[in-house]
Amino acid sequence: MDSTDRISRSQRGQLQAAPESFLQPELISEISQHGVDKRRRGLLMSALATAGAVASGVLNAADDPEIVNVPEWSRMLGKGVASPAYGQPSKYETHVTRRQSPGLTQTTQASVSFSPLQHMFGIITASGLHFERHHQGWVDIDPRRHRFMINGLVKTPMVFTLEELMRLPSVSRIHFVECGANTGMEWGNSAVPTVQYTHGMLSCSEFTGVPLSLLLDMAGYDKERARVILAEGADGSSNSRTINIENALDDVFVAYGMNGEMIRPENGYPLRLITPGLQGVSSVKWLRRVEVGDQPYATKDESVHYVDLMPDGLQRQYSSIQEAKSVITNPSGGQKLLSHGYYNITGLAWSGRGTVKKVEVSVDGGRNWREARIDGPVLPKALTRFNFDWVWDGSEALLQSRVTDSTGYIQPSKPELREVRGTRSLYHNNAIQTWKVAASGEVANVQLG
């Protein structure tokens, strides 16, 4: 075994508590695993050279007891197939979980669990880590007894079983789901310590289902009068949202699949609406009904909740689209950099209005910006992964990312957002996030300005 494989990047959380020397194998494994271009290689090699102890201490495989003494897993018969029949993450990864914010809600039914963004790679959220937001708990629906109805301004009201829906032409698309309340605790001041809590009401999956436009056509919706649809869930909260007919006919779909399998119960099994780019509450889970109407329905979920309290004291309703936003997920709050040298700053960017055009990173609190690399897929209304080479010299740093989307919109700073929206809002906070790296290497959530 190569010493460089000993520590995976997903163990970053554990590295915080690990002795200093542990950081370097992780760094080296990054370099050997990814093909780096010449410019980056130069940067990486000089970063390594300056960390002189590294070359002598870590690269010498003969010093590593795990290599000299062949570990037990190289000398034994492994486990057989299908044990367990449904695969699970390694037992060394049990720290990677969804988490609740202590004290945020009184019950776990009307609550949130946050995705561990700091432990995620690429753009897809593992299904078991997809954040949850329920208004009245999640329900385990028997798919044979579930029905989906289309009514209202239609020629023929229709009722579908799951089987009937699954016989229809389907689409599979990768989209983010972000709660309108994501980053809501951060309007006034830095309230929570880690990126899991500041930005973790955010996930991205490949969903499969039937375009709503097809179903509306089947029911013969009234093209003259239809202005909106109402989507309604089958859980006790009857969560229901008005959605513009333009959105409904564009890219909204009735999904049963998520990341190659049926949607998980807590995410809406057996059917949920996927409303790409709109705030999460519109992606109604346990979907049982879509009604076509000619005016907004002003349900409790759109007149009392998910409204924006503006500086003039008025509430803004139906601000559904999730504006462009980005966040650095590593390094991020609660972590500790254990030695000077090279770090791959990485994070996520997205826009409810289209694709990510550019991500810039600043390491000095927004005074200077440099463009980040986007190596992976850039898809509409989906998370986009960015990376940025950084050599930490040990002095205090203020890490920020800023996205520009395909409409030309640039993610605002906190002061810029507050100027337009005031400080009393809860929803739709898409401001630039700042992580402060102290000389000690500790990373903290801070607000500038």
# residues contacting ligand MTE (CB under 6 A): 20
Cβ(423)–Cβ(316) below 8 Å: no
Chain centre distance of CA 410 = 19
Closest C-alpha among 241, 81, 173, 110 to residue 377: 173
Closest residue by beta carbon to ligand MTE? 233
Our finding on whether 131 is near ligand MTE (CB under 6 A) is yes
Which member of 12, 98, 119, 133 binds ligand MTE (CB under 6 A)?
133
| Of 6-14, 98-106, 127-135, 354-362: span binding ligand MTE (CB under 6 A) | 127-135
**x/- map, 244-283, ligand MTE, by CB under 6 A:** -----------------------x------------xx-x
Strand ranges (E), 331-396:
341-350, 356-362, 370-371, 384-392
CB of 335 to ligand MTE, least distance (A): 25
Our finding on whether 96 is near ligand MTE (CB under 6 A) is no
Our finding on whether 334 is near ligand MTE (CB under 6 A) is no
CB of 204 to ligand MTE, least distance (A): 11
Cβ(333)–Cβ(198) below 8 Å: yes
Binding positions for ligand MTE, 173-212, rule CB under 6 A: 177, 179, 203
Which member of 12, 98, 119, 130 binds ligand MTE (CB under 6 A)?
130
Contacts of 249 (CB under 8 A, 6+ apart): 212, 213, 216
User: For ligand MTE, which is the closer residue by CB, 269 or 386?
Assistant: 269
Distance CA 241, CA 233 (A): 9
Max CA separation in the chain (angstroms): 77
Strand ranges (E), 66-170:
111-113, 132-134, 148-152, 158-160
CB of 391 to ligand MTE, least distance (A): 37
Our finding on whether 229 is near ligand MTE (CB under 6 A) is no
Our finding on whether 125 is near ligand MTE (CB under 6 A) is no
Percent of the chain that is helix, strand, coil (3-state, to 5): 25, 30, 45
CB of 379 to ligand MTE, least distance (A): 19
Residue 252, SS3 per DSSP: coil
Which member of 284, 290, 321, 443 binds ligand MTE (CB under 6 A)?
284
Q: Which residue is listed with tokens 């709050």?
A: 333
Distance CA 165, CA 57 (A): 60
Our finding on whether 12 is near ligand MTE (CB under 6 A) is no
Please report how many Cα atoms fall inside a 13 Å half-sphere around the Cα of residue 166, on the Cβ side. 12
CB of 238 to ligand MTE, least distance (A): 7
Distance CA 251, CA 256 (A): 15
Our finding on whether 428 is near ligand MTE (CB under 6 A) is no
CB of 285 to ligand MTE, least distance (A): 4
Our finding on whether 148 is near ligand MTE (CB under 6 A) is no
**Can you give the binding site for ligand MTE, defined by CB under 6 A?**
130-135, 177, 179, 203, 233, 235, 237, 239, 267, 280-281, 283-286
